[in-house]
Amino acid sequence: MESNHSSVGYEEIPANLLASHEARVAVNQVSPKIFEAIRLRTALVLFDAAYSGVVQPDIHFIPLRKDFANVDEVLANLQDDDYWKAMTERACNDVVVSGKYSFRRFVEGVDADMERQVLHIDSRERLVAHIFADRK
C-alpha cells in the first residue's frame, strides 16, 4: 500500500502535521526528584514553570529564566544563607511535612474521585432496588 504523501520529507512532518498539536498537552509535571530534593532541604534553582502547582517561585524555589537573564540574581540568592535556608525550610514544611503530597493523600484523592464519579449513593440504591425488584 502506497502513501498519498510519499513526497513529503521527514523535515516537513513536524511543521505540517504536528505544529497544530503543540502545547495541547502540559508536560511540566513535577518530578519525584523534586520531592527528594525538598526532603533533603536542597536549595532548588528551577526554570520558572508550573510544576503541577506543587512548588511556587520565590517561595519554594529560586526561579531561573530560560534565557538566563537573571543568573546574577540567582547566584546572589544562593550566596545568601538566610534566604535559601528559609526557602528550603518553607518548601519542606509546605510540600513534605504537610503530607499534602503523601501516598496516603493520593489514595484518599483517588477514593474520593471514585466516590464522586462512580459510586454515587443514588446510583447504588437504584442498582440494588432494580436487582431486588427482578427477584420478586
The answer, yes or no, to whether residue 1 has pLDDT greater than 50, is no
Between CA 44 and CA 47 the distance in angstroms is 10
Query: Which residue reads 511543521 in cell numbers?
Result: 15
The per-residue pLDDT for range 14-53, each reduced to its tens digit, is 777 777 777 777 666 788 999 999 999 999 999 988 898 9
Residues 77, 61 contacting (CB under 8 angstroms) = no
Which sequence spans correspond to the domains of the chain? 25-99, 102-136
**Using N-to-C axis directions, what is the helix angle for 71-79 and 81-91, rounded to 10°?**
90
Q: Is the pLDDT of residue 77 over 90?
A: yes
Contact yes or no for 38/88 (Cβ under 8 A): yes
Is residue 91 a contact partner of residue 44, using CB atoms and an 8 Å limit?
yes
Rounded CA-CA distance 23/28 in Å is 11
Average pLDDT rounded to a whole number, residues 115-131 = 64
Residue-level pLDDT at 49:
87
- Based on its alpha-carbon atoms, the radius of gyration of the chain, rounded to whole angstroms, reads 25
Q: Could you give phi then psi for residue 57, rounded to 5 degrees?
A: -65, 145
Residue 49 CB neighbours (<10 A): 15
Q: For 87-122, how does the pLDDT look when each residue is reduced to its tens digit (9 = 90+)?
A: 999 999 999 999 999 999 999 998 888 888 776 656
Q: How big is the chain, counted in residues?
A: 136
pTM for this prediction? 0.65
pLDDT at 69 over 90: yes
Contact between 91 and 55 under an 8 Å Cβ cutoff? The reply is yes
